Chains A and B, each alone.
Chain A
Amino acid sequence: MSASHITKKLAVLFGLLLVPGIALADYTLNMTQGITPVSKEVYGLHQLVMWICTVAGVLVFSVMIYSIINHRKSKGAVAAQFHESATVEVIWTVIPLIVLVAIAIPATKTLLDIEDPSKSDVTIQVTGWQWKWNYNYRDEDLSFFSNLATDSNEARQLGADTALRDKADTYLLNVDKPIVVPVNKKVRLLITSNDVLHAWWVPALAVKRDAIPGYINESHFTATKTGTYRGQCAELCGKDHGFMPIVVKVVEQSEYTAWVSAQKAAAAAAAGDSNKTFTQAELLKKGEAVYKANCAACHQVNGTGGGPFPALKGSKVATKGPVEDHLKLVITGKGIMPPFGPQLNDADIAAVVTYERNAWGNSTGDTVQPAAAKAAR
């Protein structure tokens, strides 16, 4: 590779830093601007500090490199013996101080913009669970869980076929149910946790806030562009920390209103299921889906468990034990197993218990109806 070729490559690399929009998707070098006023401010501040550091680095490193090249014994350099100067020390203490003040002023402004407590249009309570997010639209009486999408979940199992991974829709960054927010409206997030620490992070919104049990953290964003924006849990929360993504769909107000009505109608229909009676085949089919989405992460798809997570295959609870105990365990949780009562409706709980009592050779033949789940609550 010739020297000019290398120079060209370097120029392209630095050019990409300046113009992130045209960076190749797979070699993104820099932060992106995001789609909120705050995220643009943060991006500007990042560029400012990065360039100050780059210039300072180039200056200091140039002096060092010059010295290394010229002040070497092999070139006959004789060591000077100077070793202190109060003037020089004062100068190079004061200059960094001035630069820091120049950084601190815009940084303070941006920080105060981020912590803006003014009134918001939509309020969503975000609750971290191991390992999924719960969203509760406070003004709409609408609440749902958001899990890693099934295709990604299958592809991320140890030793899974790599074809699954490449086929999956936005591998690891897709969910079964995204949250939807209106464009150009101020959205307030109330972030908390049900178990351990999590952190809700969507880079394009410049929101990263810890979800802490016992605390309600507040954060805001106003998206100025419609589209789908993705993020991930940013605070280590245990085994499946890498597998609880966040998807935010920013839509026009009219579409948002329609989405809310549709969600409410769907929730009402699901609640209706709790009063129905199903056949065993229906329950098994539904139960398998619920199991894969909620239980397989710990107890494994084949029910064998592993480590601190007990096997369900052949276990006392899922075979010989009474149905009521099985239901209670699912509803209230135990130890590190979270309670599923608040996460699943009666039909889902009945289905998953039916499934667990009849899968992997657990041949109890039991059929558990939603009414039993309701009674066990």
Chain B
Amino acid sequence: MSDHPTGIKRWLFTTNHKDIGTMYLWFSFTMLFIGGAFAMVIRAELFEPGMQVVNPNFFNMMTTLHGLVMVFGAIMPAMVGFANWQVPLMIGAPDMALPRMNNWSFWILPFAGIMLLAPMFIGDNFAAGQGPAFGWTFYEPLSGQYDKLAFFIFAVHLLGFSSIMGSINIIATILNMRAPGMTLMKMPLFVWTWLITAFLLIAVMPVLAGAVTMMLTDKYFGTSFFNAAGGGDPVLFQHVFWFFGHPEVYIMILPAFGIVSQIIPTFARKPLFGYASMVYATAAIAFLSFIVWAHHMFTVGMPAAGELYFMYATVMIAVPTAVKVFNWTATMWKGSMTFETPMLWAIAFVFLFTIGGFTGLMLGVAPVDFQYHDTYFVVAHFHYVLVTGALFAIIGGVYYWLPKWTGNMYSVTLSKWHFWISAISVNVLFFPQHFLGLAGMPRRIPDYALQFAEFNKISSIGAFVFGASQLIFLYVIIKCIKGGEKATDRVWEGAQGLEWEVPSPAPYHTFATPPEVK
């Protein structure tokens, strides 16, 4: 070990999947707090009617950067972090298939993050909002009006490189490095969901790269892909963006399904119900995600036939999603359940993600979507799916595997406080937003009419509590890394799978000799 670099060099040059997984997770956690701080600014401005805190353009910059940072900085890297740590451990591989590329996929990310956030500080009028302020969906032609667009475009390109390399690595690892005896249909569900997610990423990140490249040439080289005055088409942008954007939604949620499908059987002490149908449902959701994109743009004025097609295809997604929820429920049914911290988060996930699924079905019904579209109803919907969905699964996953990663048990009391405060406040935060949307409050507005005041105030109070409660999470993790009660190898009584066969903490190198899977 003496020739291994130490200190900062260990982290800069590492090709170890555990080190890289750790870095992904810390990067994600940092971005979660940055994106969360932006959300606090948004909710502070919306605390009461009138403009009290920031300029309208600064507000738009906050909603834009909050979305981009959370999607590309917090949720996606967290999932890749889990993949790095867990995929080799779960399939009995010594490391990822392409370790040096793995290092590069991570180290691109911090630079992409800086490129994305730096424009906020470039210029002499911070309060005016100098960063991107055109919404995380960066619709043309509004984004084309932005004077520092190149920063944003290059940040997206870097994020795309990172994601594509990460995906290639995950696919290569899963397809080539499984332990003898581990057939595809014996893989843990988390591995399956990531395999499918990686294919989605490879399919759509180049589409996003194409979209931003067209923006780049429109802005700086005189082309008119999206410029109507030059013969281009602003609606084309939305088609291209959502061809990426809809699968992107599943890129964030499928690994979350995987994590929850690991946690629930462990604490129900019962095998996952309908493993094969879970795999098929995941694949079905992934396939459908490619053919429903225009449901994000029902109001652009498509022909009725197009609206009907996208409506039918969209509501179809409810079928495999319902199958998943039923299977989780059936896994709990007649189990022998205990409610350790990871299980609490997983159960909250199933309840609250289902609410997000229901509102998703409502939004898919085109004629009613004309009323819901671009209101707080949509904001409530996707936060139920992404916060109480993807983020809750991530937090549950951290509480599930943290003892394996650190070798120490964390403070159960604090982690349960974290859960209960978060689970209650997140509903105070997002549930009233359904009412606001139905009552007619558009999204992305910095100020609102007086009839929206009460629910906005309630929502903001929920937001402040939810935001603050994540500091408990940070404290629990740091305390756990520093020490604590030693975790056993199996950690949880009902845990099944190869990752629980290795010591806690997992040694720097695992499965140098492949295990035998029966």
* Partner-B contacts on A (CB < 8 A): 25-32, 41-42, 45-46, 49-50, 53, 56-57, 60-61, 63-64, 67-68, 71-74, 77-85, 88-89, 92-93, 96-97, 100, 103-104, 107-108, 110-112, 114-115, 155-160, 162, 165-166, 170-173, 195-197, 199, 201, 203, 206-210, 212-215, 217-218, 231-243, 306-308, 336
Q: List 9 A-B contacts (CB under 8 A).
A: A42-B367, A77-B335, A80-B334, A89-B323, A96-B323, A100-B315, A108-B308, A212-B301, A234-B374
B127 contact set on A, CB distance < 8 A: 306
Asked whether B233 is an interface residue with its Cβ less than 8 Å from the other chain, the reply is: yes
Query: A242 and B335: CB pair below 8 A?
Result: no
Query: Using Cβ atoms and an 8 Å threshold, which residues of chain A touch B316?
Result: 100
In Å, the complex CA distance between A78 and B354 comes to: 28
Question: B residues 324-376 with Cβ under 8 Å of A?
Answer: 325-326, 329-339, 347, 350-351, 354-355, 358-359, 361-362, 365-368, 370-371, 373-375
A115 & B304 in contact (Cβ 8 Å cutoff): yes
- Interchain CB contact under 8 A, A73 and B338: yes
| Residues of chain A with a CB closer than 8 A to B438's CB | 28-31
CA distance A93 to B323 in the complex (A): 6
Which among A29, A108, A210, A242 is the interface contact of B445 at CB below 8 angstroms?
A: A242
CA distance A24 to B490 in the complex (A): 55
A92 to B277, CA, bound (A): 11
- Tell me if A206 and B300 are in contact (CB < 8 A): no
Contacts of A212 in B (CB 8 A): 228, 234-235, 300-301
A107–B333 CA distance with the chains assembled, in angstroms: 35
* B residues near A240, Cβ cutoff 8 Å: 56
Expressed in whole angstroms, the Cα–Cα distance for A30 and B374 within the complex equals 16
Is B489 part of the contact surface with A, judged by Cβ < 8 Å?
no
Whether B367 lies near A156 (C-beta < 8 A) is no
B123: interface (CB < 8 Å): yes
Distance between Cα atoms of A199 and B235 in the complex (Å): 13
- Smallest Cβ-Cβ distance to B441: which chain A residue: A232
> A157 with B373: in contact, given A170-B449, A307-B129 (CB under 8 Å)?
no
What is the CB-to-nearest-CB distance from A318 to chain B, in angstroms, rounded to a whole number? 20
Residues of B contacting A32 with CB < 8 Å? 439
Listed stretches B98-106, B141-149, B401-409; interface member: B141-149
Give B425-475 interface residues, CB cut-off 8 Å to A: 435, 438-440, 442, 444-451, 453-455
Q: Tell which of B127, B145, B297, B325 has the most Cβ of chain A within 10 Å.
A: B145
A60 with B318, Cβ < 8 A, contacts A73-B336, A236-B139 known: no
Q: Is B510 an interface residue (CB 8 A)?
A: no
The yes or no answer to B172 lying at the interface (CB within 8 A) is no
- Which residue of A is nearest B128, CB measured? A307
Which stretch from B2-10, B33-41, B241-249, B266-274 is at the chain A interface?
A: B266-274
Choose one: A25, A31, A80; the contact of B270 (CB below 8 Å): A80
Q: Quick one: closest B residue to A168, CB to CB?
A: B450
Residues of B contacting A41 with CB < 8 Å? 367
Residue contact B332 to A234, C-beta cutoff 8 Å: no
Q: Give Cα A247–Cα B51 distance, bound, in whole angstroms.
A: 22
Sorted from nearest, which 5 A-B pairs have the closest CB atoms?
Answer: A214-B228, A307-B128, A242-B445, A217-B301, A53-B358
A364 CA to B407 CA, complexed, in Å? 77
CA–CA, A375 to B139, complex, Å? 38
Instruction: Type the 1/0 row for B126-139, where 1 means its CB is closer than 8 Å to any CB of A.
Output: 01111001110001
Across-interface contacts of A63 in B (CB, < 8 A): 329, 333
Q: How far is the CB of A226 from chain B (nearest CB, A)?
A: 20
B411 within 8 A of A: no
Judged by a CB distance under 8 angstroms, whether B175 is at the interface is: no
Partner of A107, one of B228, B299, B366, B451: B366
Expressed in whole angstroms, the Cα–Cα distance for A233 and B355 within the complex equals 28
CB-contact partner of B335 in A71, A108, A232, A243, under 8 A = A71
B353 → A minimal CB distance (Å): 12
- Supply 6 further A-B pairs (C-beta < 8 A) apart from A31-B438, A77-B335: A68-B337, A79-B334, A80-B334, A103-B361, A208-B370, A306-B127
Q: How far is the CB of A154 from chain B (nearest CB, A)?
A: 11
Q: How far is the CB of B18 from chain A (nearest CB, A)?
A: 31
Do the beta carbons of A67 and B318 come within 8 Å of each other? Answer: no
Known: A79-B335, A197-B234, A234-B442. A158 touches B435 (CB 8 A): no
Contacts of B277 on A, CB cut-off 8 Å? Answer: 84, 89
Whether, in the assembled complex, B311 has its beta carbon less than 8 Å from a beta carbon of chain A, the answer is: yes
Q: How far is it, in angstroms, between the C-alpha of A218 and the C-alpha of B323 when the chains are bound?
A: 39
Q: Does B125 contact A (CB under 8 A)?
A: yes
Contact between A206 and B370 (Cβ–Cβ < 8 Å)? Answer: yes
Look across to chain A and name the residue whose beta carbon is closest to the beta carbon of B493.
Answer: A73
**Inter-chain contact B142/A238, CB cutoff 8 Å:** yes
Chain B residues in 8 Å Cβ range of A72: 336-339
**Complex: A89 Cα to B275 Cα, angstroms:** 11
Answer whether A83 and B275 are a contact pair too, CB < 8 Å, given A171-B49, A172-B447: yes
Contacts of A206 in B (CB 8 A): 370-371
* Chain A contacts for B233, CB-based, 8 A: 214
Q: Are B142 and A162 in contact (CB under 8 A)?
A: no
CA A345 to CA B263, docked complex, whole Å: 68
Residue from B54, B56, B269, B435 within 8 A of A242 (CB atoms): B56
B292-313 interface bits toward A, Cβ cutoff 8 Å, 1 = contact, 0 = none:
0000010111001001100110
Which chain A residue has the least Cβ–Cβ distance from B234?
Answer: A212
Contact present for A307 and B130 (CB under 8 Å): yes
Q: Are A26 and B333 in contact (CB under 8 A)?
A: no
Are B134 and A236 in touch, CB under 8 angstroms?
Answer: yes
A322 to B130, CA, bound (A): 32
Give every chain A residue within 8 A of B52 (Cβ-Cβ): 158-159
B229 at the interface (CB under 8 A from A): yes
Docked-complex contact B268 and A79, CB < 8 angstroms: yes
Do residues B354 and A60 form an inter-chain contact, with CB atoms below 8 A? yes
Q: How far is the CB of B321 from chain A (nearest CB, A)?
A: 9
The answer to whether A159 touches B51, judged by C-beta atoms less than 8 angstroms apart, is: yes
Asked if B60 is at the interface of the complex by the 8 Å CB criterion, the answer is yes
Q: Which of A89, A171, A213, A236 contacts B449 (CB under 8 A)?
A: A171
A217 to B462, CA, bound (A): 39
**Whose C-beta in chain B lies nearest to the C-beta of A64?**
B329
Q: Contact between B56 and A210 (Cβ–Cβ < 8 Å)?
A: no
Q: Are A158 and B60 in touch, CB under 8 angstroms?
A: no
Does any Cβ of A come within 8 Å of B50's Cβ? Answer: yes
Query: Which residue on A lies nearest to B126, using beta carbons?
Result: A307
B439 contacts A28, C-beta separation under 8 Å: yes
| Contact call B337/A77, Cβ cutoff below 8 A | yes
A82: B residues at CB distance < 8 A: 273, 334
Tell me, yes or no, whether B57 is within 8 Å of chain A by CB. yes
Q: Name the one of A67, A93, A155 contacting B332, with C-beta atoms under 8 angstroms.
A: A67
| CA gap between A71 and B332 in the complex, in Å | 8
- B412 CB within 8 Å of chain A: no
Beyond A79-B268, A210-B299, A238-B142, is A49–B332 a contact (Cβ under 8 Å)?
Answer: no
